[in-house]
Every structure is written in C-alpha cells, then in structure tokens.
Amino acid sequence: MEAYLDNSATTQCGKQACDIMVRLLTQDYGNPSSLHLKGVEAERYVKDAREKIARTLKADEKEIVFTSGGTESNNLAIIGAAMANRRAGMHLITTSIEHPSVLNAMEYLKEQGFEITYLPVDENGIISLEDLREAVREDTILVSVMQVNNEIGAIEPIEQAAKCIKEKNPKTLFHVDAIQSYGKMRIYPKRMGIDLLSVSGHKIHGPKGCGFLYIREKTKIKPIIFGGGQQKGMRSGTENVPAIAGLAAAAVESYENFEEKTAHLYEIKKAFTDGIRQLPGAVINGKCGQDSAPHIASVSFTDVRSEVLLHDLEQRQIYVSAGSACSSNTKKKVSATLKNIGVRQDLLENTVRFSFSVHTTMEEILYVLEELPRILQLRRKYTRH
C-alpha cells in the first residue's frame, strides 16, 4: 500500500487541470501576444483563468498577476512593494516563522538599507496582535504575515492583524502568504484588509511552476521582471498558458463542495493525531484541532532522527517530509519555526511533517499508524545504549 502524506510539499495534479493543459500544449498552443487566431485563442484562455481565480477571491480580474509560483509571488509582493513605496518609509515587518521566500527577500531588502522587524510567536506559532500594533510606525510601508505556517499548520489572525495595521497606519500595505491556505480556507482580500496575496498552483492540485499574486487595485508596486511588457508590464515574459489554465481549473475545483472537503481533512487529521498521541515519545507541535490548518500535522519523535525515519517510512511506501520541501536539496538547517515555538533542543532534528489532501483516505492513515510504532520501536532499540 502507498500513503502519500507530503501534500504540503506538492499535490497530485487533478484531472481537469491535466486535461486542459494537454489541450493547450498540443492543440491551442498559440502565444497570447500573437495577433493571429491562435494567439487570440491563447489570450482568451488567460483571460478566462484570471476571471475564474478572481471569483474565488471576490476580486476583480485585473487584480490577478500570474507568476511562476509562490516564491516569485512573495518576491514580487515584498520587493516590488518596498521599492515602489520607499519614499514613504524604509521599515518592514514580518514574522520569525515565515517561508524562506519571504525571509530571504526581507534579508535582500535589509542589504538595500531597509529596516526589518521580526515579530516573535508563541508556543503554537501565533503572533501577538499587541506586538504587531506596537511594531507599526509612521514609516512602516509593508507588513508580511503568512496565513498558514507550512511546517506546523498554525493559523495567523489575519483579519485582526489587518485591522491593527490599518488603524495604526492606513498607508501601510499588508501582504499575506496564502500558499498553504488558499483552497483550504475561504479568503476574501478586500473584506479582510489584504493588499497583496500570494498563491502557488501545485499546492492545490494544479501544475508546478505557476502561481499568482493578488494586487489590490491602486496598490503601488514595481515589477521585478522586465521584458516584453506582458500583464500590463507587471510581469514580463510569455505567459505559461497551459499552466495558467490548469491553475484556474484547480482553483475552481478546490472551492467546489468546500465544506465537505474541509470536514474530510479535519476528520483525517483528528484520526491521525489521536493515533499519534498513543505512541510513546511522540510530541505534536502546535495546535491540531479545528483552530489549526486542516491538512498539516508536525510531530517530533524522541530518539529517532527525522531523516532516518523518513527513509524507514519510504521503504514502506509512506511519503512524508522533514519540513519545508523548498530547501530540502540544500544543506539541512535546523527549522527556524521549530526553534521559535520552543521545541526542545533534542527534538529539533527529530521532527516530521505529515500533510494531507482531499484524496487522503482513512486507510492510508490507519496504515501509517500501524507501521509507525514498529519502526520507532526498532530504531529506538538500536539507538539506546
């Protein structure tokens, strides 16, 4: 049996997304910038995708800019907004547990002379609204907070955060990394006070290498990619029409029967975490009820290193992750998220992320809960002296 529990790293591409992508790769393959019929057809697909995605956010289609994925969306939002508004101030705020595509963009801006404030989090990975309120200043031009943490599934109080920011400084822009929340939570940027919102396609059963950035109308932002002036100059480069259409198909599908899908995810997660609690030496990080993301569970195991456990699980066709997949091919670093929520030193390198999708079955969960105790018992037998 196979159990794929690494859906926060990537998801299986859905049939509707695959079908439309194949059609656009083999039949309607025109360049949307071309003036002939093939180009006009391709442009129509892009426009249709923009309209479909905008509807999921109750936004306007002109507020959607297609990108190569979450990393580019975060970089465009943060660097683009900072550069466009630097005359109003040089102060930026983010949290200590953001994704590297946010933290590294902030570090780049720090090198350019910007001042960065990093908000701490509590043991569940949640920021303090009071800390946020105190951090916003007259020269604060941007705040960036992820909605759902990619490692532990913490849900940040985004609406309340927006209110704090705008009350303190109405001119401060608010960027939300929604890469782990879009498709799993209903998000309406205008109502919630969000100016910029990043999304990635392959986290919602769409294709890799495609995403979008919601840019609220009249938000000042500069492009970071220059060229032929596509997408009104905000993101130059020939649009990846097959991926864009696949992304839109996945976005629409992710919000169909939404309550039923969410209920399934929470049911799966509850069964999994209830089973984990029965295992000796297993510690669940952060919240795991309905006040946490429905698809992520972080677990630390005493005396068993995560890399060893990953390979043991893999041999049984169980696929999980040791943390953010985006940095898995580089030299492994201790998770900043786990350190910032106060995970014990001896558990920092013993932590595994299990992440589910609407396709995850109860049979997969029971299979993992059956195999885990055997693996842990065997590994601890060899590691203890």
Active site (catalytic) residues: 326
Instruction: Pick the closest to residue 145 from 201, 196, 218, 88 (CA basis).
Output: 196
Neighbours of 284 (CB within 10 A): 16
Contact of 253 with 14, CB cutoff 8 Å: yes
Instruction: Pick the closest to residue 284 from 324, 339, 337, 343 (CA basis).
Output: 343
How would you write 38-71 as a 3-class SS string?
HHHHHHHHHHHHHHHHHHHHCCCHHHEEEECCHH
**Rounded-to-integer distance, Cα 334 and Cα 64, Å:** 35
Q: Say if strands 115-119 and 351-355 run parallel, antiparallel, or are unpaired.
A: unpaired
Helix (H, G, I), strand (E, B) or coil at 338: helix
Q: Using the 8-state DSSP alphabet, how is residue 154 labeled?
A: B
**Lookup result for tokens 């393959």:** 29
**Rounded-to-integer distance, Cα 11 and Cα 9, Å:** 7
Instruction: Pick the closest to residue 105 from 144, 135, 66 (CA basis).
Output: 144
**Rounded-to-integer distance, Cα 355 and Cα 362, Å:** 13
Helix (H, G, I), strand (E, B) or coil at 202: helix
> Largest alpha-carbon pair distance within the chain?
74
Residue 39 — φ and ψ, nearest 5°? -70, -40
Contact of 272 with 365, CB cutoff 8 Å: yes
Give percent helix, percent strand, percent coil of the chain, each to the nearest 5: 45, 15, 40
Contact of 368 with 314, CB cutoff 8 Å: no
**Inter-CA distances, 50 with 41, 169, 213, 248, 281, Å:** 14, 31, 11, 7, 48
